[in-house]
Structure 1
């Protein structure tokens, strides 16, 4: 399907002459400035369209947030209860039974922070994988940049995290940690994690749009990622006897990086993190955020087809 670049000017235009015998359809379209309907726009135009839909993105995210637990009796209380219940289970198994709390002064604050921060990335990835495949009716009915969907779903997870952070702050304070100016560093840390999550969400959204089985695989991948991210143990303590490259690889893992940045901001007794941890946090955000966006954009015209 093609449309004319001169359509909609308000003045009647004569019907273009059909292509001659020696003229191909492509040459005919170029002569009359016709373009393919639904073709992927250039990256700059795509960004401009996405910015123009910013109100739709926020409104869609707000609607999703309100609807998330609308059928549950406790409603949005589950946004806080779920990570808290996970933290209680991990404390029982890993803190009390397996004694992974060695080398950690304030293990409860350490554990709860890790659970809440990792859950932000986990839920963003799970939602992102379904953001295209679960919205096919919307995609086929309306024309809008498809990146709006994984961005909206990630905003939903951010909104839910911000509610949970109030409880996290209360737990950290209740466990004896002082309120200091360093807590303000939580804001740039969460901003970096949000950009990282958006990029990662777009990557899995493109996979999920064509390979629906990825929704069955992702929970196993996320569980493995959880175990290597230092959520309920200190990476430095548990890699004391391991080769240096193992410790560096685990500490450079993006989930571990964002967890450590927020732990260092909230928990005064936490072991001071290396200065390059902030560089890793910004680097992962830019690499995955920009790379994921471009990767998603390159398949723009294929979402909702078939």
Structure 2
């Protein structure tokens, strides 16, 4: 003998309510809904230990299969600098007229590599970690920020080798070396912001990761990594807009500021006008703008 359970018919008011009204009545919310910007910042801050631990773990695992292990963190940019020295310094003669060319070149390579690696890692921050994104609930900005922190940690290892190179080529220790701290802070903010921009783009269009090396290579050649922009631009009748674009190039700004901080033969007159204002402006524009741009698509990451 079966029992029939009668469900009372819905009231007239309930039958006419929209899904949003029903959700509000029963206290339901959209799964994975984007929080407000202040709430999103608080969520990120609450997970700051996860972000730093994730960055450290990724850095440790990066060279875990190599026999030389973590030494590659220093050897990779040094080998790049050696190749650039041979091609540009020796074969193309860009070292002529540039005092302390080896410290000049190595500083440029290390600082540029920081930006380049942060952006390349950012392009795959979401698309390369879909399993983590779909399995756990956390603010997705934690991923591109953690990759930027990973590259900052790697740069700090490289800076130790850079200081040895500076001393080995007779560059004295000066108080101006302390300027490296605010320069790195501004550059990190810029890198993290751009990483969040390309992370959102890469989440929707993974092919961005294939295009990015060509964009970054072109950017590197315009940033004075292997030659002096000041020496190259002087005496040339270039359109004013071209000169301004090259001098205000954010990568060139951070590279020149670091050279000014570390190399005593790199003088203030070689810096673009208002260079600190450019450095701060780029950091705020990319950092704040990139963060908001990434946050606006929070609900879409890992879906579709």
Gap regions ≥5 residues in structure 2: 1-9
Paired residue for 1:8? none
The Cα shift of 1:243 comes to: 2.9
Paired residue for 2:284? 286
In the alignment, structure 1 residue 88 sits paired with structure 2 residue 82: yes
Greater alpha carbon shift after TM alignment, 204-213 vs 182-191? 204-213
CA distance in 2, matches of 1:39, 1:46: 11
Paired residue for 1:11? none
CA deviations over 1:151-175 (Å, ceiling 9, x no partner): 1111110000000000011111111
Paired residue for 1:255? 251
CA distance in 1, matches of 2:267, 2:60: 39
CA distance in 1, matches of 2:19, 2:85: 68
CA distance in 1, matches of 2:142, 2:272: 36
Kindly indicate whether the alpha-carbon contact (under 8 Å) linking 1:200 and 1:292 is maintained by their aligned counterparts in 2.
yes
State which of 261, 267, 271 in structure 2 corresponds to 1:265: 261
Structure 1 residue ranges, 4+ long, deviating more than 4 angstroms after superposition: none
Alignment TM-score, normalising by the size of structure 2: 0.92
The Cα shift of 1:180 comes to: 0.5
Kindly indicate whether the alpha-carbon contact (under 8 Å) linking 1:177 and 1:267 is maintained by their aligned counterparts in 2.
yes
Paired residue for 2:39? 45
State which of 101, 116, 119 in structure 1 corresponds to 2:95: 101
SS at match of 1:35: coil
CA deviations over 1:180-207 (Å, ceiling 9, x no partner): 1000000000000000000000001011
SS at match of 1:178: coil
Kindly indicate whether the alpha-carbon contact (under 8 Å) linking 1:111 and 1:232 is maintained by their aligned counterparts in 2.
yes
RMSD of aligned residue pairs (Cα, Å): 1.3
SS at match of 2:29: strand
Greater alpha carbon shift after TM alignment, 259-268 vs 23-32? 23-32
SS at match of 2:15: coil
SS at match of 1:34: coil
Paired residue for 1:216? 210
CA deviations over 1:7-50 (Å, ceiling 9, x no partner): xxxxxxxxxx8862222222222334432121100101100111
**Per the alignment, do residues 181 and 275 of structure 1 end up closer, same or farther by CA in structure 2, a change over 3 Å counting?**
farther
Paired residue for 2:7? none
**Per the alignment, do residues 274 and 225 of structure 1 end up closer, same or farther by CA in structure 2, a change over 3 Å counting?**
closer
How many residues of Structure 1 are paired with residues of Structure 2 in the alignment? 290
CA distance in 1, matches of 2:280, 2:105: 24
The Cα shift of 1:274 comes to: 4.5
Gap regions ≥5 residues in structure 1: 1-16
Paired residue for 2:4? none
CA deviations over 1:184-242 (Å, ceiling 9, x no partner): 00000000000000000000101111211111111111100110000011112112212
CA distance in 1, matches of 2:246, 2:88: 19
CA distance in 2, matches of 1:174, 1:251: 30
CA distance in 2, matches of 1:216, 1:264: 34
Alignment TM-score, normalising by the size of structure 1: 0.92
Kindly indicate whether the alpha-carbon contact (under 8 Å) linking 1:40 and 1:301 is maintained by their aligned counterparts in 2.
yes
CA distance in 2, matches of 1:150, 1:119: 17
CA distance in 1, matches of 2:82, 2:17: 72
